[in-house]
Amino acid sequence: MDASEFRKRGKEVIDAIADYYESLDQIPPMSTVKPGYLYKIMPHEAPEEPESFDDIQSDLQNKIMPGITHWQSGNFFGWFPSNSSFPAMIGDMYSTMFDVVGFNWICSPAVTELETVVMDWLGKLIGLDKRFLSIKEDGTEGEGGGVIQGSASEAHIVAMIAGREMALERIKADGKVSNEEADSMCHRFVAYFSDQTHSSGQKAANIIGCRTRIIESDKDFRLAKRSLMAAIKQDKRAGLVPFFVCGTFGTTNTTAIDDLAGIADVAESESLWYHIDAAYAGAALACPEFRPLATGIERADSFNFNAHKWMLTNFDCSAMWVADSKHLVNALSIHREYLPRVKGDTSFVKDYRDWQAPLGRRFRALKLWYVMRMYGASGIRAHIRSHVKQAKWFEEKLIEDGRFEIMAPVVFGLVVFRIKPSAVNTSGDFEDVDPDVVNKANTDLVKAIQADNRVFLVGTKIKGKDVVRAAIGSTIGKQEHVENLLEVVLQLTSSVIDSI
Amino acid sequence: MDASEFRKRGKEVIDAIADYYESLDQIPPMSTVKPGYLYKIMPHEAPEEPESFDDIQSDLQNKIMPGITHWQSGNFFGWFPSNSSFPAMIGDMYSTMFDVVGFNWICSPAVTELETVVMDWLGKLIGLDKRFLSIKEDGTEGEGGGVIQGSASEAHIVAMIAGREMALERIKADGKVSNEEADSMCHRFVAYFSDQTHSSGQKAANIIGCRTRIIESDKDFRLAKRSLMAAIKQDKRAGLVPFFVCGTFGTTNTTAIDDLAGIADVAESESLWYHIDAAYAGAALACPEFRPLATGIERADSFNFNAHKWMLTNFDCSAMWVADSKHLVNALSIHREYLPRVKGDTSFVKDYRDWQAPLGRRFRALKLWYVMRMYGASGIRAHIRSHVKQAKWFEEKLIEDGRFEIMAPVVFGLVVFRIKPSAVNTSGDFEDVDPDVVNKANTDLVKAIQADNRVFLVGTKIKGKDVVRAAIGSTIGKQEHVENLLEVVLQLTSSVIDSI
């Protein structure tokens, strides 16, 4: 395919993309293929000779498309949203065009420098404390700054590595043990999470090889200061070394918000690295009305949210900030002759390779730049607020119906609910409903919704209860989609109850 | 930007991309901006209101473009190539359109299943041993398989984690120490590299928190069996625990090939995880004539090469295979209610989230599918062979010239050379040239080439000698570009020698 064929075919693809988005409401959101479907209809080797573009397009339509679950559909309410947008797509097309590997400044200065610029823009947009910004108000460089990671998991790993480095430095500086002994202590290092912390916390701990302590969340699914303190006290007594704690702003199960200020107190007194995972809900901080919920963030060591979830920037674009990059860079910096560093007259040159696990990096700042400029701060806020309003409306209608229980406060776009015991019970004796029957009714409801396939959502389990999760926040999602969701839920709830 | 505006603007972008590739020969490959250039010309906050697309396009041209180093230029010979191609771009456009987060099968079955299919295609294309394939000849599932990572660094991290898991399992199974003691031994685990191993090895070790032993390479820049054995013997005597070794097929500095079969012997006798890093040169294995150089690969535990380097697939697409996924999955698997697993009637469903550090994953298999189908195996081989031929031609011309020394065999597309001592010496006394003067002449040559900016390349240092690296392999790179490279090198070498 040469440039002239690309002009023709590329434009066909642009139309195909626009067609896809315009027709998403007409197709069922969830793929219904059976496991192993593709292998059976695919050749087992790459072709020896080039194939025609038309043949590939036909296979895309007939073989790939049926295996797609349509995250961009307005009827997709699964997990958390994965917002795509046309401006982000255009940013990504240019990033793909340049196809640079930005492992240092000269690889393409714009890749490094635009990232510094837009991460400061984004930090200001969500009201982050200025200690997280790269450039201070006087125009000089701060200790902190933002970096784009591929995922919240990678942010978690990087934060934990920085935390381990900070703890090791402190222990070595104390001089009570030799450096050798300090290094040997790492397997006694403990990272603290709640039972609602995202799985990436445990995975990061497995990767760096430290211990974890999973603390039971309170009745509101929050990590509380008192439980954290008790766990640390116990672990220290057992000879372990607390070094890291993760607070969550908007947990995966229920969008609960941990006691972020209380955790900050503990992190300070115990010298822990304090990471805040706001993967989903961080986007809401673009709206000032949500910021009071986030008190404590300004005292964290690192903060992360995924612009690729609820902020219109195609996957992957996980925004992470640190208040002081020293420990990160100390832990991840490797020098090689073929990787020269540039020292500018100013300090605007960051070696982002020392801020992440991999060496190479794509030009992800570009899509974020397109998004912030083409939506504007006002457009991003309107996007968030429209979904929160839809979620509140949906919650209200569920309550009005009378058969549902809202399982956690609806703060953002997630509504967690279940068919309540009294609605399941047909005998009228509300006090004595078998929890298993209630659980089964709710898992049946999720299955029925997925089988019906007018909308897509998933269930989860919280504190032993099977519940239904509806995450409202698709880029093209409108009030009418949530009305459709309500209709499906009410209708299928009746079927489920009838069949008990 | 709605779908109809995207139709219009997206097509303009397609033309802009085609224009860019058609005009690349006319622009200097290296960006010449000064550090900090962008911050000075950018607003310090995101705009409050949406901006016009035309304004952004104008900034892209005037502010971003000057900060790009053009990796796709035929005149770019820096580091290693980062091949883009139009088929890969189209694959990525569709991936961006779907914008799914493929952390498990139902997220989009095609994402998981196409990856399994194309990684088997690619494994067969480069002649990998069948133990690395997902599907055996009889149609049942093998123990191994391929997975697309973001970078060779991530492959290195994942391989090392699997190696640690394998070693821990063995130690625990031995029963000589308690499980607790086994875990506490990790800081005594040693990973083995040569002084030519890519920096990602050291970085992976820093991340997982193990030790490294950097072994001096032999005169041909290879990791030799004897040196590896000696280092292991010494370390074991000191109470350390060897667990991992990396062999390289095509090192970064010189494309040297370690004694892969000899390392396999040692890995087997010492029960080490054996990872082979073929980040750049692995692509050459598409051509059968290179496979005899890779004897030993069939005995590795994991193998990795970057299709985004020399195989026409835009960054990122790092192809990794393991012979047995058990240790990987044991180390990286985390269960959560909101992440259900699917068990099919067949075994074609892989939970790739357990094969990588992050949870989420993009649909990267799609671009690889477009590349293999639109080039065909024959087109990919022709791409590789054309560059190898150009590299040999360039080597020959440098030798003919008489002023250069070829510093390592030219096997693939990389030519490593320097102005030789006799050419630097003006007194005629060849035996007595100050090595610093020779080094300076060569670093001056690299600087002069970069300042001239008709072509781009970088230098490196090998065994104390400053040398020049020309990596031939751009997607649009033709013989005429290498002729241009030669002209620039010869001309500027004369200037450098004249100015001594």
pLDDT digits (tens, 9 = 90+) for B131-167: 999 988 888 888 999 999 999 999 999 999 999 999 9
Asked if A160 and A74 sit in the same domain, the reply is: no
Q: Which tens digits make up the pLDDT trace of B443-499?
A: 999 999 999 999 999 999 999 999 999 999 999 999 999 999 999 999 999 999 999
pLDDT tens readout for residues B47-93: 999 999 999 999 999 999 999 999 999 999 999 999 999 999 999 99
Is the CB of residue B158 less than 8 Å from the CB of residue B149? yes
Residue B232 has pLDDT above 60, yes or no: yes
Residues A287 and A233 in one domain: yes
**Exposure of A417 by Cβ count < 10 A (0-12 exposed, 13-18 middle, 19+ buried)?**
buried
Under 8 Å between Cβ of B291 and B249: no
Is residue A267 over pLDDT 60? yes
CA atoms within 13 A on the CB side of A9: 21
A84 near B CB under 8 A: yes
Whether B263 is covered by a domain: the verdict is yes
Does residue B316 have a cis bond before it (omega within 30 degrees)? yes
Provide the percentage of residues in chain A whose pLDDT is more than 90: 88
Instruction: Give the span between the Cα atoms of A166 and B387, in whole angstroms.
Output: 47
Q: What is the dihedral of CA B354, B357, B360, B362, to 10 degrees?
A: -100
Q: How many angstroms separate the CA atoms of A227 and A216, rounded?
A: 8
Q: Label residue A471 exposed, middle or buried (CB < 10 Å: 0-12, 13-18, 19+).
A: buried
Asked if A24 reaches chain B (Cβ–Cβ under 8 Å), the answer is no
Q: Are residues A156 and A226 in the same domain?
A: yes
Are the beta carbons of B360 and A49 separated by less than 8 Å? no
For residue B347, is pLDDT > 80?
no
Instruction: Based on the fold, state whether residues A155 and A73 are members of the same structural domain.
Output: no
State whether B348 and A39 contact (CB < 8 Å): yes
- Please name the residues between 243 and 282 in chain A that touch chain B, using a CB distance below 8 Å: 252-253
Shortest distance, CA B429 to any CA of chain A (angstroms): 30
Residue A429 — very low, low, confident or very high, per pLDDT cuts 50/70/90?
low
pLDDT at A412: 98
Taking the CA of residue A50 and the nearest CA in chain B, the distance in Å comes to 4
pLDDT for position A338:
65
Tell me which residues of chain A, numbers 353 to 392, contact chain B at a CB-CB cutoff of 8 Å. 357-360, 362, 366, 369-370, 372-379
Which residues, listed in sequence order, are joined to residue B423 by a DSSP beta bridge? none
A128 and A39 inside one domain = no
pLDDT bracket for residue A344 (50, 70, 90): very low
Interchain CB distance below 8 Å, A39 and B86: no
Local structure of A303: helix, strand or coil = strand
Among B299, B250, B309, B249, which residue's Cα sits nearest to residue B274? B299
For residues A276 and A147, state if they share a domain: yes
Mention every residue, 6+ apart, whose C-beta is less than 8 A from residue A181.
Answer: none
Q: Which DSSP category does A402 fall into?
A: S
A313 closest CA partner among A488, A59, A87: A87
Give the pLDDT confidence of A450-497 residue by residue, as tens digits.
Answer: 999 999 999 999 999 999 999 999 999 999 999 999 999 999 999 999
Query: Is the link from the previous residue into A316 a cis peptide, with omega within 30 of 0?
Result: yes
What pLDDT is attached to residue B339? 63
Q: How far is B338 from chain A (nearest CA, A)?
A: 5
A69 interface with B at CB cutoff 8 Å: yes
Please state the φ and ψ torsions of residue B217, each to the nearest 5 degrees.
-75, 160
Q: Does residue A112 contact residue B38 with C-beta atoms inside 8 Å?
A: no
**Residues of chain B numbered 463-492 and touching chain A (CB < 8 Å):** 469
Task: Give which of A40, A84, A151 to mutate to test B binding, by max B Cβ within 10 Å.
Answer: A151
Residues A141, A232 within the same domain: yes
pLDDT of residue B141: 84
SS3 assignment, position A158:
helix
**Residue B98 CA neighbour count, 13 Å, CB half:** 31
Q: Hey, what are B234's tokens? A: 């010494």
Contact call for A67 and B114, based on CB within 8 A = yes
Give me the mean pLDDT over the A402-428 stretch.
92
**Contact criterion met (CB < 8 Å) for B99 and A71:** yes
Encoded tokens for A456: 């897509």
The angle subtended at Cα A150 by Cα A99 and Cα B6, nearest 5°, is 60
- What's the mean pLDDT when you consider all of chain A? 95
Residue B345, pLDDT score: 43
| Mean pLDDT, rounded, for A346-359 | 83
List of residues 6+ apart from A240 with CB closer than 8 A? A188, A189, A190, A211
Query: Cα–Cα distances in Å, from A329 out to A118, A244, B372?
Result: 21, 17, 39
**Pair (A206, A62) in one structural domain:** no
Alpha-carbon gap, residue B320 to B154, rounded angstroms: 10
Q: Does B138 touch chain A if contact means CB atoms closer than 8 Å?
A: no
pLDDT for B344 beyond 50? no
Range of the domain at A38: 3-82
* Reported ipTM: 0.96
Q: Give B118's contacts in chain A (Cβ within 8 Å).
A: 46
User: What residues of chain A, 411 to 430, have a C-beta less than 8 Å from chain B?
Assistant: none
- For B324, counting Cβ atoms within 10 Å of its Cβ (0-12 exposed, 13-18 middle, 19+ buried), the class is middle
Q: How many CB atoms are located within 10 Å of the residue A176 CB?
A: 9
Name the strand (E) or helix (H) holding A248: strand A241-248
Q: Is residue A417, in this structure, part of any structural domain at all?
A: no
Contact A460 B345 (CB under 8 A): no
| Closest-CA distance of chain A to residue B478, Å | 14
- Which one of A30, A69, A366 would you mutate to disrupt binding with B, by most B Cβ within 10 Å of its Cβ? A69
Distance CA A434, CA A136 (A): 59
Interface mutation vs chain B, best among A373, A460, A465, most B CBs within 10 Å: A373
Q: Which string of b and e fits B198-234 if b means at least 16 CB within 10 Å?
A: bbbbbbbbbbbbbbbbebebbeebbbbbebbbebbee
Distance from CA of A88 to the nearest CA of B (A): 9
Given A342, A362, A382, the domain boundary residue is A362
Chain B nearest C-alpha distance from A401 (Å)? 26
Task: Provide the angle, in degrees to the nearest 10, between the axes of the packed helices B365-401 and B479-498.
Answer: 50
B212 vs chain A: nearest CA distance in angstroms?
Answer: 13
- Residue B339 included in any domain: yes
Tell me how far apart the alpha carbons of residues B455 and A125 are, in angstroms, rounded to a whole number.
41
Question: Mind telling me how many Å the CA of A287 is from chain B's nearest CA?
Answer: 12
Same domain, A183 and A68: no
What is the rounded distance in angstroms from the CA atom of residue A370 to the CA atom of residue B125?
39
Which domain-ending residue is among A313, A343, A362?
A362
* Tokens, residue B193: 């590299």
| A373-402: pLDDT as tens digits | 999 999 999 999 999 999 999 999 999 999
In a domain, B432, yes or no: no
With contact defined as beta carbons under 8 Å apart, do B381 and A67 qualify? no
A53 at B interface, C-beta within 8 A? yes
| pLDDT band at residue A349 using 50, 70 and 90 as cut-offs | confident
Judge whether A155 and A309 are in contact, CB under 8 Å: no
pLDDT, one tens digit per residue, over A308-338 is 999 999 999 999 999 999 999 999 988 766 6
Tell me what the mean pLDDT of segment A215-244 comes to: 97
Q: Are A374 and B135 within 8 A, CB to CB?
A: no
Asked if B435 contacts B56 with a C-beta cutoff of 8 angstroms, the reply is no
Chain B nearest CA to A371, separation (Å): 9
Q: Give me the mean pLDDT over the A290-315 stretch.
A: 98
**Are A39 and A147 in a shared domain?**
no
Q: CA–CA distance from B323 to each of A63, B52, B125, B275, B355 (Å)?
A: 29, 52, 17, 11, 13
Within a domain: A69: yes
> Would you state the pLDDT for residue B431?
65
pLDDT at A339 (0 to 100): 63
Residues A268 and A304 both lie in one domain? yes
CATH of residue B222's domain is: 3.40.640.10
Amino acid at B77: F
For residues A140-169, give the mean pLDDT: 95
The 3-class SS string of A68-124 reads CCCCCCCCECCCCCCCCCHHHHHHHHHHHHHCCCCCCHHHCHHHHHHHHHHHHHHHH
Query: Is A428 a domain residue?
Result: no
**Is the minimum CB–CB distance between B125 and chain A shorter than 8 Å?**
yes
| Partners of residue A349 in chain B, C-beta under 8 Å | 35-36
CA gap B461, B117 in Å, rounded: 41
What is the Cα–Cα distance from B391 to B414, expressed in whole angstroms?
7
Same domain, A73 and A128: no
Interface test with A, best of B2, B90, B210, B285 (most A CBs within 10 A): B90
Amino acid making up residue A80: F
- Across the interface, which of B15, B92, B332 has its CB nearest the CB of A203? B332
Closest partner residue to A1 (CB to CB) among B87, B108, B337 is B87
Domain count, chain B: 1
In this prediction, residue B183 carries a pLDDT of 85
* Residue numbers in B near A72 (CB within 8 A): 97-99
B412 contacts B279 by C-beta, under 8 angstroms: no
Is B178's Cβ below 8 Å from some Cβ in A? no
A241 SS3 class: strand
Task: Give the mutation candidate from B20, B24, B39 for the A interface (greatest A CB count, under 10 A).
Answer: B39
Write the Ramachandran bin of A261: left for phi over 0, alpha for psi from -120 to 50, otherwise beta: alpha
- Could you tell me which chain B residue has the CA closest to the CA of A183? B187
| Residue A27 pLDDT greater than 60, yes or no | yes
State how far the Cα of A70 lies from the Cα of A67, in Å rounded to an integer: 9
pLDDT at A482: 98
Residues A377, B151: C-beta atoms closer than 8 Å: no
| pLDDT grade for A26, boundaries at 50, 70 and 90 | very high
pLDDT of A141 higher than 90: no
Does residue A290 lie in a domain region? yes
User: Considering the domain boundaries, does residue A340 fall inside one?
Assistant: yes
Per residue, what are the HEC states of chain B?
CCHHHHHHHHHHHHHHHHHHHHHHHHCCCCCCCCCCHHHHHCCCCCCCCCCCHHHHHHHHHHHHHHHCCCCCCCCECCCCCCCCCHHHHHHHHHHHHHCCCCCCHHHCHHHHHHHHHHHHHHHHHCCCCHHHCCECCCCCECCCEEEEECCHHHHHHHHHHHHHHHHHHHHHHHCCCCHHHHHHCHHHEEEEEECCCCHHHHHHHHHHCCEEEEECCCCCCCCCHHHHHHHHHHHHHCCCEEEEEEEEECCCCCCCECCHHHHHHHHHHHCCEEEEECCCHHHHHHCHHHHHHHCCHHHCCEEEEEHHHHCCCCCCCEEEEECCCHHHHHHHCCCCCCCCCCCCCCCCCCCHHHHCCCCCCCCCHHHHHHHHHHHHHHHHHHHHHHHHHHHHHHHHHHHHHCCEEECCCCCCCEEEEEECHHHHCCCCCHHHCCHHHHHHHHHHHHHHHHHHCCCECEEEEECCEEEEEEECCCCCCCHHHHHHHHHHHHHHHHHHHHCC
Mean pLDDT in chain B? 95
CA–CA dist B416, B471 (Å, integer): 8
- Kind of pairing between the strands at A211-215 and A189-194: parallel
